[in-house]
């Protein structure tokens, strides 16, 4: 399940292998993958050259020479795979886009939560004035908050926004309009490191405690990125989300009933907002 580190690994791969390439024929093999697309994808992609890559949180995009942007959601199981023409035989192949160097940019997605959409560019809501070149983001990214690994991220403003929420802290951490890039796994890990239970109300936490949670999230994601960043080779941009998580040891996620790695008591799993949360009843208050 791609969270920020996994998406950044994909972006770096696309930066190396797709920028400068021009799209040709585009084959859409599953309608759901282009469900938000107005018109036909090929009409917007064909003959467009990729000029840059971008990312905010888990939202990934390619800048096109037409001025529009190809917004890519990896969803739960999306993979971007650069191969020689026609090499992907998987029945999870959803889009095959031909590039002018003889390669294909393939989108594979088992659970079809992911999608491609070509949208207009808008001025970046977070861009600071005075930049030499106007910064833009896809129109579909307008509502997404900055992520903790963004050099321009305003941590103090983020803390104040979180403090103003009465929802459970886990829910607030997963709200991409408050802070982006954090998914279920890193949310659980960050809350463990910070010693805060997932159902504590954000408004009931001190600003210092919220700061510790955000620091923990940034730390766990940057360490995952260091590992995941070396997981693809020069031939493929191949990220299935597994590389970032499962090669590293998780403290609580997926460890229900196993001993806490710090204090030894049993890790608990609770369910709310339709998903699992794992925590240590002794280390987290």
Partner DNA sequence: AATGGTTCCTGGACGC
Partner DNA sequence: TGCGTCCAGGAACCAT
The C-alpha atoms of residue 123 and residue 137 are separated, in whole angstroms, by 6
Residue 61: CB partners within 8 Å, gap ≥ 6? 53, 54, 55, 69, 70, 71, 72, 137, 138, 141
Identified catalytic residue from 32, 85, 111, 275: 275
- Is 132 one of the annotated active-site residues of the chain? no
Identified catalytic residue from 58, 68, 161, 171: 58
Distances (CA, A) of 175 to 3, 143, 204, 271: 13, 11, 18, 17
Residue 67: CB partners within 8 Å, gap ≥ 6? 120, 121
- Is 256 one of the annotated active-site residues of the chain? no
C-beta closer to DNA: residue 99 or 228: 228
Gyration radius of the chain's alpha carbons: 20
Identified catalytic residue from 2, 138, 148, 198: 2
> What is the number of other CB atoms lying within 10 angstroms of the CB of residue 110?
16
C-beta closer to DNA: residue 49 or 203: 203
C-beta closer to DNA: residue 22 or 200: 200
- Is 268 one of the annotated active-site residues of the chain? no
- Is 3 one of the annotated active-site residues of the chain? yes
Least Å from the CB of residue 144 to DNA: 7
Least Å from the CB of residue 11 to DNA: 13
C-beta closer to DNA: residue 102 or 274: 274
Sites of contact with DNA (CB under 7 A): 1-3, 32, 57-59, 73, 75-76, 91-92, 110-113, 140, 143, 164-168, 171, 174, 176, 183-185, 203, 253, 269, 271-276
Least Å from the CB of residue 47 to DNA: 28
C-beta closer to DNA: residue 12 or 58: 58
The C-alpha atoms of residue 153 and residue 155 are separated, in whole angstroms, by 6
The DSSP result for 124-189, as a single string, is: -TTPPTT-SS--EEEGGGTTPPP-TTSTT--HHHHHHHHHT--SBHHHHHH-TTTS-S--HHHHHH
Residue 4's nearest CA partner among 54, 76, 81, 56 is 56
Least Å from the CB of residue 103 to DNA: 25
Least Å from the CB of residue 142 to DNA: 10
Q: List the catalytic residues.
A: 2-3, 58, 275
């Amino acid at each position: 399940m791609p969270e920020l580190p996994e998406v950044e690994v994909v972006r770096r791969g696309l930066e190396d292998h797709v920028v400068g390439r021009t799209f040709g024929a585009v084959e859409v093999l599953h309608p759901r993958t282009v469900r938000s697309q107005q018109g036909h994808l090929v009409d917007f992609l064909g003959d467009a050259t990729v000029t840059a890559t971008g990312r905010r949180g888990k939202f990934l995009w390619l800048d096109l020479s037409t001025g529009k942007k190809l917004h890519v959601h990896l969803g739960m199981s999306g993979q971007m795979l650069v191969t020689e023409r026609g090499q992907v035989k998987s029945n999870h192949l959803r889009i095959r886009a031909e590039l002018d160097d003889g390669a294909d940019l393939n989108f594979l997605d088992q659970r079809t939560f992911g999608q491609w959409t070509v949208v207009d560019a808008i001025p970046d809501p977070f861009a600071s004035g005075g930049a030499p070149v106007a910064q833009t983001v896809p129109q579909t990214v307008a509502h997404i908050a900055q992520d903790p690994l963004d050099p321009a991220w305003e941590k103090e403003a983020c803390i104040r926004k979180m403090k103003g929420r009465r929802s459970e802290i886990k829910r607030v951490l997963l709200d991409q309009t408050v802070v982006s890039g954090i998914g279920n796994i890193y949310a659980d890990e960050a809350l463990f490191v910070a010693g805060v239970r997932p159902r504590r109300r954000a408004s009931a936490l001190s600003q210092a405690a919220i700061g510790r949670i955000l620091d923990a999230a940034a730390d766990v994601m940057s360490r995952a990125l260091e590992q995941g960043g070396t997981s693809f080779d020069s031939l493929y941009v191949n990220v299935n989300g597994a590389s970032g998580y499962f090669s590293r040891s998780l403290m609580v996620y997926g460890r229900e009933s196993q001993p806490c790695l710090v204090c030894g008591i049993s890790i608990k799993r609770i369910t709310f907002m339709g998903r699992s949360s794992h925590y240590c009843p002794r280390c987290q208050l």
